[in-house]
Amino acid sequence: VSSQAVGGLVRRLGPRARLDQPLGPLTTYRVGGRAAVLVELESEAEFPALAGAVVEAGLEVVVVGKGSNLLVSDAGFPGVVVTLGESFSWVDTDPAGPAATAGAATTLPVLARRTAAAGLAGLEWAVGVPGSVGGGIRMNAGGHGSDIEHSLLSARIADLLSGGVREVKRAELGYGYRRSDVGPHHLVLSGRFELRRGERQASDRVISEIVRWRRDNQPGGQNAGSVFTNPPGDSAGRLIDSCGLKGFRIGSAQVSDKHANFIQADPGGSADDVRRVMESVRETVSRETGVMLQTEVRLVGFGGWLE
Ligand SMILES: Cc1cc2nc3c(=O)[nH]c(=O)nc-3n(C[C@H](O)[C@H](O)[C@H](O)COP(=O)(O)OP(=O)(O)OC[C@H]3O[C@@H](n4cnc5c(N)ncnc54)[C@H](O)[C@@H]3O)c2cc1C
C-alpha cells in the first residue's frame, strides 16, 4: 500500500481512520490478517468526506457488516475497510404500512424479533441468519423458504465513488438467488420492508422453531455458514457429503461433520487453510459429480474473489 495514499486518508479523516487493524475479530471465521485502514462511519453526514477521501487515496475499499459471510486472507487487506457504527443499528416499525425500516448495522435476528414483537409477520426466517441488514440486502440472504428480496421495498444506498446517497427500489437491485447488483463501492445505510399484519404469538412460535432447527442442524464454532450456493435443483451440502468429504481437513480447517457445506476454522487457525479446503472441495465435487460449485462466502484480500 502506498504510504502516501494512507497518509492522505488520515489527513482528511483524522482519528476516524485507524491504521493496521485486525480483521479476524470482525468476522465469524475469526481468522485472517489486518486492514491497512479501518473507518467506522458514525452518521450519514460523515459519508461525503469518507467517499471523497477514499476516491482521492485511490485505495481498494470493502464494506464489512457482521462478517458472517467473509473470509479475510492471512495477508490481510491492503485497502480501506468501512464499517457502520452503533447509530446505524435501529428498527422503526410501522403497523399502518404494514412495514418496518431498519438501519444497515441492525442484525437480522434483531430485525426478526422486533418486527414479530410489533405484530408484523414476514421476517421470522431472518432470526437464523447472523448477518446485518446491510449484508443481507447485498447478499439477498434467505432461508426457510424466504429471502430479503421477498419483502424489501427499497434500500438507502451510498456510493463511495460518487459520494451520492439515494433510495433504490427493490426492482433496481438486480436480485437473484444470493445475489444483487449492490457492488463493492456501495454502502447500504438502511432498508425498508413490506410486511403483513400478523400475530405476535404465531410469529414467536415460528421463530422458536427456526432457532431449534438451526441448533439441531448447523454447527457452532468459527464458520461463515454455507460456503457454496446450492446448484439449481440440488444442495451443495448433499453433493459434498456424497463425495465423502465430511471431516475432510487441511491444517487448521475442516469440512464440518454436522453440515457438509460448512467449513470450520480452528481457534487461532489460518484463513489460507480454509481457502485450501474450499478449493479442494470444489475440485473433488467437480471431478466426481460434474457440478462446479459457486462460492457464496466472499473472499477478501486473496487478490480477487474466488467466483
Ligand atoms: C452460522 C451461520 C449461518 C448462516 N446462515 C445463512 C442462511 O441461512 N442464509 C443466508 O443467506 N446466509 C447465511 N449465512 C451467511 C451470512 O450470515 C449472510 O450472508 C449475511 O447476509 C451476511 O451479512 P453480514 O453483515 O455478516 O455481511 P458480511 O459478511 O460482513 O459481508 C458480506 C458481503 O456483504 C457486503 N456488505 C456487508 N455490509 C454491507 C453494507 N452495509 N453495505 C453494502 N455491502 C455490505 C460485504 O462487503 C460483503 O460483500 C450464515 C452465516 C453463518 C455464520
161-181: per-residue pLDDT in tens? Answer: 999 999 999 999 999 999 999
What is this structure's pTM?
Answer: 0.97
**Is there a contact between 306 and 295 (Cβ–Cβ < 8 Å)?**
yes
Which stretches of the chain score pLDDT less than 50? Answer: 305-307
Averaged pLDDT score across all residues of the chain = 95
Among protein residues, the one whose CA lies closest to atom 6 of ligand 1: 129
Cβ–ligand 1 distance for 140 under 6 Å, the answer: no
SS3 state at 218: coil
Cβ–ligand 1 distance for 218 under 6 Å, the answer: yes
Separation CA 284–CA 247 (nearest Å): 14
Q: Report how far ligand 1's centroid is from the alpha carbon of 20 (Å).
A: 23
Cβ–ligand 1 distance for 135 under 6 Å, the answer: yes
Ligand 1: nearest atom to the Cα of 148: 11
Cβ–ligand 1 distance for 34 under 6 Å, the answer: no
- State residue 197's pLDDT score: 97
Residues 6+ apart with CB under 8 A from 19: 6, 10, 36, 37
β-strands 253-255, 146-147 pairing? unpaired
Place of cell 466426481: 288
Residues 6+ apart with CB under 8 A from 284: 243, 245
Give buried/exposed letters for 189-225 (b at 16+ CB in 10 A, else e): bbbbbbbeebeeeebeebbeebeeebeeebeeebbbb
Mutate to test the pocket of ligand 1, among 31, 47, 64, 68 (most ligand atoms within 8 A of CB): 68
- State residue 304's pLDDT score: 57
**Is there a contact between 253 and 276 (Cβ–Cβ < 8 Å)?**
yes
Among the listed residues 20, 126, 142, 131, the one whose alpha carbon sits nearest the alpha carbon of residue 81: 20
